[in-house]
Amino acid sequence: MYLPEDNDQMFEILVDLRLYAAMNSLPDLAEELDDALVLLQTEIRRADGRSPVSRKPPVTDQG
């Protein structure tokens, strides 16, 4: 069985699968893969210690 080596490879696989689904009249699968891509990005941000919602860098106390 093939497993992605990192998050970037996982993202590329999901993008490719999403494209395949869209091009082969599988709209429900394409939508589910869209959700999986959002979830992957959320998990990556969470693992990196960043908020999945906020796009602003964390505020640090410089005083």
- What is the sign, positive or negative, of the torsion defined by CA atoms of 42, 48, 51, 53? negative
**Is the Cα dihedral 53, 56, 58, 61 positive or negative?**
negative
Query: Tokens 């990556």 — which residue?
Result: 44
pTM here? Answer: 0.72
Q: What is the pLDDT along the chain (63 residues), one digit of tens a residue?
A: 889 899 999 999 999 999 999 999 999 999 999 999 999 999 999 998 876 555 555 555 554
CA distances from 16 to 12, 13, 33, 56 (A): 6, 5, 10, 29
